[in-house]
């Protein structure tokens, strides 16, 4: 990695976002939302990477190099995807956001491979840094426009996430057919990406619920429930709380659906957790259910060395603010 002090992109971000008012950059060359929105349709479809000003953003040159490797063939794909997901993990999304339209086309290319991996990166770029965050208030949150979050480079992360979410919304029609892909991992990654769309929420929610009726893979079913909850939260879907409650309280539903719906319900409302929900989780949130849900990106983001993502969520949500909860005699520990 080049020295931050000597890199023009880092220096520009420092001047614009740390030493000055970020809102002076709205619509300008350092507004990644504008940069992504200005990528021509022909450039997206033709994978014309040279039309994107990658070097305006810290580590943007690395992202362009990774995208070139992705486009060159299978041998370099894993390494290139690792670079992109690593930048997201390191809280440097501004550089990756312009890659989202190209990653969507990789994920939807019938001749391509690594569809699930590319679409998972799309979903990661479109979310705030959330590793280990599993409170009811924050687990499914994208960002709050009234609160600023800054990346490690000093860039305004709210803009990076918004740029990626808007790119997903623009390509919704490309993504929706993949909810019926033969590969369950692709279906889950597609739901993860679409749950971040900034627009067209009602059509996407309808597609999620329709797919749930025919989904036969337990992990993909759980992923659809979490995707419905996250999209509904972002767009303030008024019926989502009742729908989630109907799911978790229905004994005819599969365990992973009821448990995921319980998580979704807790994230969509601040109502006290009913005894009925706690009793259901005592019975159904087993180690087997946790293992089944562990591949879901929502669960991978909150798993810890002490437990699965599911059990980490339940410890935090059912025992908020309890000192030493990790060590208590608790069914989720």
Q: CA 150, CA 157: separation in Å to the nearest integer?
A: 5
CB atoms within 10 A of CB 90: 13
Q: State the pLDDT at residue 333.
A: 34
Provide φ and ψ at 5, rounded to 5°.
Answer: -65, -30
- Mean local confidence (pLDDT), 131-136: 78
Closest among 248, 241, 261, 267 to 320, alpha carbons compared: 267
Dump pLDDT digits (tens) for 247-275.
999 999 999 999 999 999 999 999 999 99
Closest among 118, 133, 52 to 84, alpha carbons compared: 118
- Straight-line distance from the first to the last Cα atom of the chain, in angstroms, rounded to the nearest whole number: 40
Q: CA 318, CA 300: separation in Å to the nearest integer?
A: 19
Q: Is residue 3 over pLDDT 70?
A: no
CA 42 to chain centre: 26
Average pLDDT, the chain: 92
- Mean local confidence (pLDDT), 45-68: 97
- Supply the DSSP symbol for 15: I
- The helix (run of H) or strand (run of E) holding residue 122 is helix 115-125
Dump pLDDT digits (tens) for 68-95.
999 887 678 889 999 999 999 999 999 9
Q: CA 190, CA 173: separation in Å to the nearest integer?
A: 12
Q: Is residue 331 over pLDDT 50?
A: no
Q: CA 212, CA 264: separation in Å to the nearest integer?
A: 15
Closest among 291, 219, 278, 212 to 248, alpha carbons compared: 278
Dump pLDDT digits (tens) for 173-223.
999 999 999 999 999 999 999 999 999 999 999 999 999 999 999 999 999
Alpha-helix runs per DSSP H in 195-254: 201-214, 218-234, 240-248
Q: State the pLDDT at residue 130.
A: 60
Burial class (CB in 10 A: 0-12, 13-18, 19+), 94: buried
Handedness of CA 289, 292, 294, 296 (dihedral sign): negative
CA 260 to chain centre: 16
Structure tokens at 8: 């023009």
Task: State the maximum Cα–Cα separation within the chain, in Å, rounded to a whole number.
Answer: 61
Structure tokens at 70: 């992705």
Residue 261 neighbours by CB under 8 Å, 6+ apart: 225, 229, 244, 245, 247, 248, 253
- Give the Cα-Cα-Cα angle 290, 291, 295 (nearest 5 degrees): 105
**Residue indicated by tokens 């499914």:** 140
- Mean local confidence (pLDDT), 106-132: 89
Q: CA 118, CA 126: separation in Å to the nearest integer?
A: 13
């Amino acid at each position: 990695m080049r020295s931050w002090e000597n890199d023009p992109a880092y220096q520009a971000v420092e001047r614009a976002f740390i030493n000055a008012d970020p809102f002076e950059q709205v619509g300008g060359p350092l507004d990644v939302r504008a940069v992504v929105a200005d990528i021509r349709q022909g450039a997206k479809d033709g994978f014309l990477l040279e039309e994107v000003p990658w070097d305006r953003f810290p580590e943007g040159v690395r992202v362009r190099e990774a995208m070139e490797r992705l486009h060159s063939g299978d041998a370099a794909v894993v390494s290139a995807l690792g670079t992109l997901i690593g930048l997201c993990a390191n809280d440097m999304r501004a550089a990756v956001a312009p890659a989202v339209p190209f990653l969507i086309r990789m994920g939807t290319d019938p001749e391509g491979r690594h569809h699930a991996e590319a679409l998972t990166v799309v979903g990661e770029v479109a979310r705030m840094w959330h590793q280990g965050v599993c409170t009811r208030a924050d687990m499914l949150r994208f960002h709050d426009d009234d609160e600023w979050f800054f990346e490690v480079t000093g860039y305004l992360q709210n803009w990076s996430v918004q740029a990626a979410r808007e790119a997903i919304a623009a390509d919704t029609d490309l993504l929706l057919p993949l909810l019926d892909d033969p590969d369950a991992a692709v279906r889950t990654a597609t739901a993860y990406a679409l749950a971040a769309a900034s627009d067209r929420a009602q059509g996407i929610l309808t597609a999620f619920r329709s797919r749930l009726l025919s989904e036969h893979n337990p992990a993909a079913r759980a992923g659809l429930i979490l995707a419905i909850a996250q999209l509904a939260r972002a767009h303030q879907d008024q019926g989502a709380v009742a729908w989630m409650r109907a799911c978790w309280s229905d004994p005819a539903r599969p365990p992973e659906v009821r448990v995921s719906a319980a998580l979704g319900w807790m994230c969509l409302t601040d109502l006290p957790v009913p005894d009925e929900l706690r009793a259901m989780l005592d019975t159904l949130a087993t180690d087997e259910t946790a293992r089944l849900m562990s591949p879901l990106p929502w669960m991978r983001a909150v798993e810890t060395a002490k437990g699965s993502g599911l059990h980490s969520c339940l410890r935090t949500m059912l025992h908020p603010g309890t000192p030493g909860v990790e060590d208590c005699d608790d069914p989720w520990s």
